Chain A
């Protein structure tokens, strides 16, 4: 049993946080989270605290971890819950309500939790991206709407993700549910299948293996991705680009709007600091950092956007959206029905 003791000592030695400030705030988040070092330092300096981030897999995995550790939370703040998981998280009752004064500046359309347990931080639209040169070089018209995607001239040109294993895949499924209703969306997917849609399991495969305009140079010129992906293509280009190689199809309901939330975990040992961190995420400084770190839009409307966003990322006039309760209640049934129609 001496060895057990040794293990325990090793473990506790490892997890003792480095005391760089008198207080440490732990933020649990998903793998796609990013923030500028400079911005975090501002918060740390202003609050005489240090911030530790725990990345916990994709959005679903991170939420699961938060729910499972409800009785003794692993962190003080949870960021990265989106509107497709919101109702599940609220049902699991993992958040402490907090009405940040900064929420006053946030448009009402993002404030989906009237109980103030989850505060909106950013949003982004999942859209079909297309390879501009593919359509230009063939003098083909670009599809303008969801309905266009099932037309014969676009046969075999679209790749989408499995909604059971991918968050943009689910968002695109929800866009079709919004537009065609239930069970109308299944008819649409049946036609997409007949029109040779390719389904892969994750965004990385869809974008980098199947999409023709990415560096992977795949076979399909249309992919379910994000409205900001064209901007990212320009920013992460070497040598630099003068124009985006891709663009989005932004017809009515063709894009699904994902909104991401932050909440204070129940049982947090630093509730006061956690509230200040939520305020900070809604402050102009953090909000301005959001676009280039995570390629999403800040919820504060007056925050200036980077040039790449205003020039290359499109904002759909009428994005699709569904009430979080509807999604929570039906997502399993929708995914199951989708699987039967599209995969079997």
Chain B
């Protein structure tokens, strides 16, 4: 297709469709499905639990002090984590968008793996690498003949930050990298011809064009860090506490539901504040460009500067993402019994026992699940989540792509499920749905709540940059609406759709919280199986947990590589 090359590739300025009737009816139609979904599965349970537990008497000075102190730390670590994630994520996005190098597809897939690993598994990986008796400390002790481990990792703020970067860099890579790779390189080239230097090209051309994706990435990363729970508990330890951790402790351990409700309300209000701020900034400028093929932007690093950037960057990413992940498969095949009393003679060796044991129901338990079944359950839930979240996400993102007054109000609302307390929402589900809670549908529906903001934020920039002129041109050349959708919209949307599907899929695969609160034991997922093994002592249980985690990693890496494969052939079409 040569059209984008001839027709104007930039048309700038705020784009508001005038509120004539047919348009607004279409808009309302687009909103019905996503809004009814949120009303039933988000606002209803949240309203029920808050109405049931919120109590003005909890607004005491001491409670507010607890709340504000916790809010302060929550905000502080979220800002720091987000900045660090951007500092790594943006160069990584540039690397993946602009350079091709051997092993790139695998590395890109690996950066997405942490996103779906349960926190308990990630903590095990980091402990194996950086813990007091992790590989790094042991190596340093041996090398310099030290008395104790030189690096303190677990239980520090640093551990929280590193884990957040580890989890969320993929969001920046996928959102910003996606936008970057479909950017028309001629814009920068034109600017350069007109005398702009590299920095000016970045500041004046590339960054403004990237802004919607960048803002979306910042918001999503920030909210994930802001509501962080597992990482804080498992790697930060008890001296750190976010609002979500406090809500969990107050609600489920101290059974103080009113205080938990107060904290959830504060968390929700903050989220609303962030979302409104985001909507304000993101809607300030909207630019339509015709996306270009990814191949146009890709090259091998050639100049010295490019090599100096691409080489170390790829190495850094490999170290950060591969090393902690490597610990899991390694531990799943090693007998780690070297210094355990009577077992000293056995020593360290390789074994496949843990994998074999996964297929044995040794205790005859009614809750035993064969690994294949757990994987199948996980895949079915994940596929249902993809279908549901695309079904809700497409209409919402289409409406948001051409924002009117309605959209500016609704936009911040769509992001709320990410910032709401999962613990509180889980309790709300009980009040709102009662016995329906046992329905197997509840799990993908709950996963869709988390996935939907990602799907919308991934689709919306692509839909917003869809040049109307191309569609009009197609129509004036006699194309039917379907035909013009097929030749104009779909080629451009295909990549964003697959990215969105990838997000929904991986979110569902790794989700544990909602699954454990909602799932029926008949359909356990892989994360549920991992937690079950880790809840009892014994080498076999630990080994099986590592083996299950390795299977989860392998499964997700394979799925991501498959999605990437599907993304690529489309690139040549436009």
Quick one: which of A131, A226, A238 contacts B540, CB cutoff 8 A?
A: A238
Complex-state Cα separation, A14 to B435, whole angstroms:
11
Interchain nearest-CB distance for B41 vs A (Å) = 9
The distance in angstroms between the C-alpha atoms of A271 and B517, with both chains bound, is 25
Q: Per-residue CB proximity of B245-264 to A under 8 Å, as 1/0?
A: 10011011111110000000
* B residues in contact with A31, CB < 8 Å: 516, 531-532, 535
Chain A residues within 8 Å of B255, by CB: 60, 63-64, 67, 85, 88
Distance of A165 Cα from B133 Cα, bound (Å): 25
| Bound form: Cα–Cα A214–B331 in Å | 13
A74 contacts B437, C-beta separation under 8 Å: yes
Q: State whether the Cβ of B365 lies closer than 8 Å to any Cβ in chain A.
A: yes
Q: Does A69 contact B (CB under 8 A)?
A: yes
User: B252 touching A60 by the CB < 8 A rule?
Assistant: yes
Across the interface, do B120 and A204 meet the contact criterion of CB distance under 8 Å? yes
Q: Name B233's contact: one of A14, A88, A202 (CB within 8 Å).
A: A202
B 437-474 to A, binary, CB cutoff 8 A, 1 in contact else 0: 11111100000000000000000000000000000000
Interchain nearest-CB distance for B448 vs A (Å): 12
Query: Of A35-43, A106-114, A171-179, which binds chain B?
Result: A35-43
Contact call A209/B124, Cβ cutoff below 8 A: yes
Q: Does A258 contact B (CB under 8 A)?
A: no
| Stretch of A5-13, A120-128, A138-146, A183-191 contacting B (4+ beta carbons < 8 Å) | A5-13
For A37, what are the chain B residues with a Cβ–Cβ distance below 8 Å? 361, 364-366, 368
- Tell whether A36 pairs with B517 under 8 Å between CB atoms, given A165-B233, A232-B536: no
Whether, in the assembled complex, B393 has its beta carbon less than 8 Å from a beta carbon of chain A, the answer is no
| 8 A Cβ contacts from A289-331 to B | 292-293, 295, 331
Partner of B237, one of A11, A85, A200, A239: A200
Tell me if B88 is interfacial: C-beta within 8 Å of chain A.
Answer: no
Given the known inter-chain contacts A36-B363, A245-B342, please indicate yes or no for A201 contacting B237, CB distance below 8 A: yes
Q: A11-B441, A236-B538 are in contact. Are A55 and B366 (CB under 8 A)?
A: no
Q: Is there a chain B Cβ closer than 8 Å to A205's Cβ?
A: yes
Q: Which residues of A contact B40 (CB under 8 A)?
A: 4, 7
> Does A250 sit at the interface, judged by CB under 8 A?
no
Tally A residues with Cβ within 8 Å of B. 85
The reply on A65 being an interface residue by CB < 8 A is yes
Q: Could you say which residues of chain B place their CB within 8 Å of the CB of A239?
A: 335, 346
Task: Given A4-B40, A164-B249, A165-B249, answer yes or no on A38-B364 (Cβ-Cβ < 8 Å).
Answer: yes
Closest to B513 in A: A57
Contacts A4-B40, A11-B439, A293-B363; A74 near B542 (Cβ below 8 A): no
Known: A36-B365, A332-B254, A343-B239. A214 touches B542 (CB 8 A): yes
Q: Is residue B101 contacting chain A, with contact meaning CB distance below 8 A?
A: no
**Shortest Cβ distance from A150 into chain B, in angstroms?**
20
A213 at the interface (CB under 8 A from B): yes
In the complex, how many angstroms separate the beta carbon of B515 from the nearest chain A beta carbon? 10
The yes or no answer to B413 lying at the interface (CB within 8 A) is no
In the bound complex, residues from chain B placing their C-beta under 8 Å from that of A235 are 538
Select from chain A the residue with minimum beta-carbon distance to B249.
A164
Interface flags, A53-72, vs B, CB<8A=1, else 0: 11111101101110111001
Query: Quick one: CB contact mask for A199-221 with B, threshold 8 Å, 1 for yes?
Result: 11111110111001111111100
Q: Would you give the shortest CB distance from A234 to chain B, in whole angstroms?
A: 8
In the complex, A260 has a CB within 8 A of chain B: no
Scan A13-57; emit 1 where CB is below 8 A from any B CB, else 0.
Answer: 011000000000010000111111110100000000000111111
Known: A52-B438, A201-B234, A233-B539. A209 touches B131 (CB 8 A): yes
Closest residue on chain B to residue A67 by CB atoms: B255
A164 & B253 in contact (Cβ 8 Å cutoff):
yes
Q: Is the CB of A36 within 8 A of B364?
A: yes
CB distance B341 to A209 under 8 Å?
no
Q: Let me know if B431 is at the binding interface, CB within 8 A.
A: yes
Q: Give B331-349 interface residues, CB cut-off 8 Å to A.
A: 331, 335-337, 339-344, 346
A237-B365 contact in complex given A14-B440, A55-B516, A199-B238, C-beta closer than 8 Å:
no
Tell me if B158 counts as interface (CB < 8 A to partner A).
no
A136 within 8 A of B: yes
- With both chains docked as a complex, state the minimum distance between the C-beta of A233 and any C-beta of chain B, in angstroms: 5
State A64–B254 Cα separation when bound (angstroms): 10
B469–chain A nearest beta-carbon distance, Å: 34
Q: Could you tell me if A245 and B123 are in contact, using CB atoms closer than 8 angstroms?
A: no
Interchain CB contact under 8 A, B341 and A245: yes
**Interface bin, chain B:** 35 or more
State A132–B341 Cα separation when bound (angstroms).
7
List residues of chain B with CB within 8 A of the CB of A214: 537, 539, 542
Chain A residue at minimum C-beta to C-beta distance from B520: A54
The answer to whether B58 has its CB under 8 Å from any CB of chain A is no
Please determine whether B430 and A69 come into contact, CB atoms closer than 8 angstroms: yes
B33: Cβ under 8 A from any A Cβ: yes
Verify if B357 is at the interface (C-beta below 8 Å from A): yes
B residues in contact with A202, CB < 8 Å:
233-234
Q: Is A268 located at the chain interface by the 8 A CB criterion? A: no
CB of A17 to closest CB in B, whole Å? 8
**Is B100 in the interface zone, CB < 8 Å from A?**
no
**Cβ of A335 under 8 Å from chain B:** yes
Contact A61 B517 (CB under 8 A): yes
Q: Closest residue to B440 on the A side, CB-wise?
A: A14
Name the A residues within 8 Å of B337 (CB-CB): 215
Cβ-neighbour of A233 out of B154, B437, B538 (below 8 A): B538
Closest to B239 in A: A343
24 of the cross-chain contacts (CB-CB < 8 Å) are A3-B36, A4-B40, A11-B439, A14-B439, A31-B535, A53-B521, A54-B437, A57-B516, A72-B435, A131-B340, A165-B245, A170-B253, A199-B237, A209-B127, A216-B127, A218-B132, A229-B537, A232-B541, A233-B537, A236-B539, A238-B540, A245-B341, A245-B343, A332-B256
- Chain A residues packing against B (C-beta within 8 Å): 3-4, 7, 10-12, 14-15, 26, 31-38, 40, 52-58, 60-61, 63-65, 67-69, 72, 74, 85, 88, 131-133, 136, 162, 164-165, 170, 198-205, 207-209, 212-219, 225-226, 229, 232-233, 235-239, 241-243, 245, 292-293, 295, 331-332, 335, 343
Q: Which residues of B line the A interface, CB within 8 A?
A: 32-33, 36, 40, 49, 52, 120, 123-124, 127, 131-133, 149, 154-155, 233-234, 237-239, 245, 248-249, 251-257, 331, 335-337, 339-344, 346, 351, 353-354, 357, 361, 363-368, 427, 430-431, 434-442, 516-517, 519-521, 531-532, 534-543
Pairs A-B, 5 closest by C-beta atoms: A236-B538, A14-B439, A15-B439, A133-B341, A215-B542
